[in-house]
């Protein structure tokens, strides 16, 4: 039962609950009209203290497609935060108007804090460089639809593995399934945090290797998850400029990849995937965008007890 629970990080849901959500998302893709009124009378708040296009709009589209309503802000300068209001008070207030809250905040741990003050379910839509569980649900729905299962994959995580919250959440989620192997492709400065290698991979007994060059390992991958270098989390511009174009996936590199490999990216992309790759049958990042809305529809429906 997901009703009245919070989603702060991927491990908050059991594997059975994730299967249920993926199955519901698949049914919603097949017959969206059947679900078009199930949230009638319910309100979702989207509180975005940090910029977003896909996550916020897909949450809003999801609630509207379920027949519910949406309110919120897309910029903290439009909220009482600028007057000095604490997150706790904002959440106490908004939870007395709405049935469920999706929030994004630049501070790690903000969603967990919010869940302590909210009287309605909180969905973490990204807390700093920490977690992004609904992007992970999107990734899981996509992997299940395109690869059939969550087990036995060689997964390449490529780019900014230090600050990229989507890779932290995906690594945590996929390490719960057997026989997955991770190839962590990043510059030395942007390697995945030790808490992921020690507390996630090692604890799960999973194989992982760190690599610097994508072209050396691309032929081994079943899933290639590209990410952008997270400009907003760098302390100095020089480092960002030096590292931002570390990886550019192009047609030439794709020649060495398996015909069955899929390329995922949470988006927005900057330069890390050349537009010439978009037409390749293995490029799945725009399908992933579409699956994201259905994943969030399934999540809202379950967490509000509408189904």
Under rule CB under 6 A, residue 54 binds ligand NCD: yes
Under rule CB under 6 A, residue 135 binds ligand NCD: yes
83 is catalytic: yes
Q: Please select the residue that binds ligand NCD; options are 81, 118, 166, 180, rule is CB under 6 A.
A: 166
User: Closest approach of Cβ 252 to ligand NCD, in Å?
Assistant: 24
Cα 193 from Cα 190, distance rounded (Å): 9
54 is catalytic: yes
User: Closest approach of Cβ 56 to ligand NCD, in Å?
Assistant: 9
281 is catalytic: no
Nearer to ligand NCD, 227 or 306 (CB): 227
Under rule CB under 6 A, residue 165 binds ligand NCD: yes
User: Closest approach of Cβ 184 to ligand NCD, in Å?
Assistant: 17
Q: Please select the residue that binds ligand NCD; options are 8, 21, 63, 267, rule is CB under 6 A.
A: 267
- Could you tell me where the beta strands, DSSP code E, fall in 17-164? 43-48, 69-73, 100-105, 122-127, 154-158
Q: Please select the residue that binds ligand NCD; options are 10, 68, 121, 126, rule is CB under 6 A.
A: 126
Among the listed residues 132, 162, 168, 228, the single catalytic one is: 132
User: Closest approach of Cβ 117 to ligand NCD, in Å?
Assistant: 23
Closest by CA position to 296, among listed 157, 147, 136, 166: 136
Closest by CA position to 225, among listed 175, 168, 275, 187: 168
Q: Tokens for 32? A: 């969206």
User: Closest approach of Cβ 230 to ligand NCD, in Å?
Assistant: 6
Per-residue binding letters, 198-227, with ligand NCD (x by CB under 6 A): -----------------------------x
138 is catalytic: no
User: Closest approach of Cβ 37 to ligand NCD, in Å?
Assistant: 28
* Sheet strands side by side (includes 100-105): 69-73, 43-48, 100-105, 122-127
Contacts with 292 (C-beta within 8 Å, 6 or more apart), sequence order: 54, 55, 58, 134, 135, 138, 141
* Peptide bond connecting 268 to the previous residue in cis, omega within 30 degrees of 0: yes
132 is catalytic: yes
Burial 265-304 (b: 16+ CB within 10 A, else e): bbbebeebbeeebeeeeebbbeebbebbbbbbbbbbbbbb
Q: Tokens for 245? A: 């174009």
Under rule CB under 6 A, residue 21 binds ligand NCD: no
Closest by CA position to 155, among listed 263, 252, 248: 263
Element housing 161 (H / E) = none
Among the listed residues 104, 144, 168, 244, the single catalytic one is: 104
Cα 108 from Cα 242, distance rounded (Å): 26
Cα 25 from Cα 39, distance rounded (Å): 15
Under rule CB under 6 A, residue 121 binds ligand NCD: no
Q: Please select the residue that binds ligand NCD; options are 132, 153, 168, 302, rule is CB under 6 A.
A: 132
Under rule CB under 6 A, residue 128 binds ligand NCD: no
Under rule CB under 6 A, residue 266 binds ligand NCD: yes
Kindly list the catalytic residues: 54-55, 83, 104, 132
Binding site for ligand NCD (CB under 6 A): 54-55, 126, 132, 135, 165-166, 227-228, 266-268
């Amino acid at each position: 039962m997901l009703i009245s629970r919070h989603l702060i990080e991927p491990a908050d849901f059991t594997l059975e609950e994730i299967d249920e959500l993926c199955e519901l998302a698949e049914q919603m893709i097949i017959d969206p009209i059947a679900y078009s009124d199930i949230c009638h009378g319910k309100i979702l708040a989207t509180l975005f203290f940090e910029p977003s296009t896909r996550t916020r709009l897909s949450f809003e589209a999801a609630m509207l497609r379920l027949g519910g309503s949406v309110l919120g802000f897309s910029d903290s300068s439009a909220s009482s935060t600028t007057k000095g209001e604490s997150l706790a008070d904002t959440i106490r207030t908004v939870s007395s108007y709405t049935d469920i809250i999706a929030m994004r905040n630049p501070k790690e741990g903000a969603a967990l804090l919010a869940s302590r003050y909210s009287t309605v379910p909180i969905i973490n839509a990204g807390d700093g460089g920490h977690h992004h569980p609904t992007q992970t649900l999107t990734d899981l729905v996509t992997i299940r639809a395109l690869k059939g299962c969550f087990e036995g994959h060689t997964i390449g995580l490529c780019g900014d593995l230090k600050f990229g919250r989507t890779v932290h959440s995906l690594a945590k989620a996929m390490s719960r399934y057997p026989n997955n192997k991770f190839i962590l492709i990043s510059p030395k400065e942007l390697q995945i945090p030790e808490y992921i290698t020690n507390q996630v991979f090692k604890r799960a007994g999973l194989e992982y290797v760190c690599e610097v060059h994508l072209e050396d390992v691309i032929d081994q991958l079943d899933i290639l998850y590209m990410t952008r270098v997270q400009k907003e989390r760098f302390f100095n511009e020089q480092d960002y400029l030096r590292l931002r174009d570390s990886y550019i996936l192009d047609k030439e590199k794709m020649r060495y990849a398996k015909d069955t490999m899929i390329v995922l990216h949470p988006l927005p992309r900057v330069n890390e995937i050349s537009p010439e790759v978009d037409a390749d049958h293995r490029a799945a990042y725009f399908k992933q965008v579409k699956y994201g809305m259905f994943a969030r529809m399934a999540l809202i429906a379950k967490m509000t007890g509408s189904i």
